[in-house]
Chains A and B, each alone.
Chain A
Amino acid sequence: MRTAVAKPALMRSMPQIAHVDVNCFYASAERAFDPSLEGRPLVVLSNNDGCAVTRSPEAKALGIATGEPWFKLAPRAKEWGLVAKSSNYELYGDISARFMELLGRYSAWLEVYSIDEAFLGVKGEADQLLPLGRTIRDAVRRNVGVPVCVGIAPTKTLAKLCNKWAKNNPAFGGVCLWEAVPGDVRDSLLERLPVDEIWGIAGRLTKRLNVLGIFTVGDLVRADPVMIRDKFSVVLMRTVLELRGTPCIPMEEERIGRDQLIFSRSFATPVTSADGLRQVLSIYGQQASARLSKHGLQAKVLTAFAATSPFRQQEQAYPSVCVSLPMPTADPLLLARAAHALLPHIRDGLKYAKAGIMLTDLRPSGNQPPLEPFENPHEERGIGPLLEDVSRRFGRGAIGLGHAGIKSGLDWTMKRDMRSPRYTTHWDELPVVKAA
């Protein structure tokens, strides 16, 4: 039975969405600097070396599940040849920043969706979009050193779906264009795909859908959107419409994911100076601080990015930086200051239409009392600039801020026995090349 999707002829000149994400991101970032890990089963462990959060394909083949505790895996690691790495968020954050900056060169419309995935607006015929997808895949592999897959479709939901197909089916060569997949193949793929494999559908929803006889994505595509809205939500109705080829999931501005928090926003009026962006980034710092406090979290790594206006005829730029925070924090001032590391990359005169920050390496705030974020006491009293002055004159660590202090406390140090070097953010941990 044919599913109801928009006819290709109608989509020809319509904008399309490319969804690009890195395959097994953390494991791939490790391999980019340590070729000896290539082809070996590899897992990356969560904070405190708790459980496997990323598995290489070889580790998946061993039957290792996501979330499997390391203490259960460790006794068999030798027998399997399994390598485990502690999370190296400085490395992942920097690789992510490079990835996003590179993607920005391929489209003026870039939405950073998570540390390792983004949506891009693209346009063209099938015979141009497929090569574009391959170009992006090759460029990320070559420049940044990590493998990606690309899904291109009329909607975000379908683009994500295509990406999944590209990942799971080597025949696609890493790039799947919805329009280029024959209709009967699409239908049979949708009929086989359980409904919870779709973006935005989680466990509890799945059970309620199953009660209505909706088990596969194909079933969901055929469901009446109005019924779905009434019985579930507008959000799920949008998913149904998106699966039918009608774009209706807008740009999102703030998300908290499994292990990251993103603030990204487009400006009503472009910002044209580093000073203007300083203010914007400070505001994000405060908002991020409030959000972290609300969830009882602190962050250790911050990525800040900006993008020029897509509407103007001008040179375009997509600067992005990754900052390793001196300690896990939810302090608005520290977060804002870290975000300001982007400012030297901002060129006065260019029109920036968008900026954002992404926080990773999130962890429970422990016993440090959270600051009241909106009072922002430091900035009012000019303590920020003072700290900066003192540090400049007497060196980093000469003065510290409140509970953050001068020294790194013991309470936040984490067990990361198997962490690889922070290859791209620390001079004393550079990758070593042999001249032998």
Chain B
Amino acid sequence: MGVIVGPRVIDAGASLFSVLISPVAVAAGFPSPAQDYFDGRIDLNAHLIKDITSTFVVRVTGNSMEGAGISDGDELIVNRALEPKDGSVVIAVLDGELTVKRLRITAAGIVLQAENPRYQDIKVSALSDLTIWGVATRCLHHV
């Protein structure tokens, strides 16, 4: 015990490459490498969390996303590392609050869409005007 392992250093160029593929690719849905070694029961963590550094769980309050199967009191699994795309269910910062909406990126502009006709959509002039906190990947719906 106590022997110092000297620094092995990673070439910056190589690191950059692995950076480019690693978090993004993993997040995009490659099976976790841990599954190859896994021989036991189904592991919900491995199934639901692709990147444990960037994945958070939040609780929904309100009914504006019911059309997307997201109800009041449900939990959402949110990955902050994902790139928000057209159609993503996102957690956006609106007036200092975290708000869940469907992101629409179209030629006509950027819209934060509710999934309930009783709620209004919010138009945004540019993506840069918008702070996206994270992208929801799963809904833990209470049945």
Contacts and interface: CB of A to CB of B under 8 A. Distances in A.
28 contacts: A105-B18, A105-B22, A109-B8, A109-B9, A124-B12, A125-B12, A129-B12, A132-B15, A135-B19, A139-B23, A251-B5, A265-B2, A267-B3, A268-B1, A268-B2, A310-B8, A347-B34, A348-B37, A353-B5, A427-B57, A431-B56, A431-B98, A433-B98, A435-B65, A435-B70, A435-B72, A435-B99, A436-B62
The 9 closest A-B pairs by CB, nearest first: A124-B12, A36-B96, A128-B12, A121-B7, A435-B62, A143-B54, A123-B9, A310-B8, A266-B5
Interface in A297-353: 309-311, 315, 347-349, 353
Contacts of B60: 432-433, 435
Nearest to A16: B9
A53 B76 CA distance: 33
A143 B53 contact: yes
Interface string A402-436: 00000000000000000000011001001111111
Contacts of A101: 52-53
Contacts of A15: 7, 9
Interface in A3-47: 15-16, 35-36, 38
Given A35-B131, A36-B96, A436-B61, 10 more contacts: A15-B9, A98-B53, A102-B53, A105-B19, A123-B9, A123-B11, A124-B11, A143-B23, A145-B80, A349-B37
Interface in B1-41: 1-5, 7-13, 15-16, 18-19, 22-23, 33-34, 37
Nearest to A283: B1
A144 interface: yes
A172 interface: no
A381 interface: no
A321 to B, nearest CB: 9
Interface in B68-103: 70, 72, 75-76, 80-81, 91, 93, 96-100
A128 B15 CA distance: 10
A423 B12 CA distance: 35
Interface string B40-53: 00000000000111
Contacts of A124: 11-13
Contact of B2 (A132, A145, A253, A423): A253
A399 interface: no
A35 B97 contact: yes
Given A98-B53, A268-B3, A315 B19 contact: no
Contacts, number: 159
- The size bracket of the interface on A is 35 or more
Nearest to A107: B10
Nearest to A250: B4
Nearest to B92: A433
B125 to A, nearest CB: 20
B110 interface: no
A108 B96 contact: no
B137 interface: no
- The size bracket of the interface on B is 35 or more
A122 interface: yes
A257 interface: no
B12 A132 contact: yes
B10 A108 contact: yes
A431 B3 CA distance: 43
A267 B96 contact: no
A154 to B, nearest CB: 12
A124 B54 CA distance: 27
A131 interface: yes
A72 interface: no
B19 A139 contact: yes
Given A35-B96, A250-B4, A347-B34, A142 B15 contact: no
Contacts of A144: 53-54, 80
A314 to B, nearest CB: 11
Nearest to B70: A435
Nearest to B19: A135
Contacts of A309: 5
Given A315-B33, A433-B60, A354 B5 contact: yes
A106 interface: yes
Contacts of B133: 35, 145
B1 A265 contact: yes
Contact of A143 (B33, B75, B80): B80
A109 B5 CA distance: 9
B100 A435 contact: yes
Contacts of B59: 430-433
A436 B34 CA distance: 38
Interface in A110-148: 121-125, 128-129, 131-132, 135, 139, 142-145
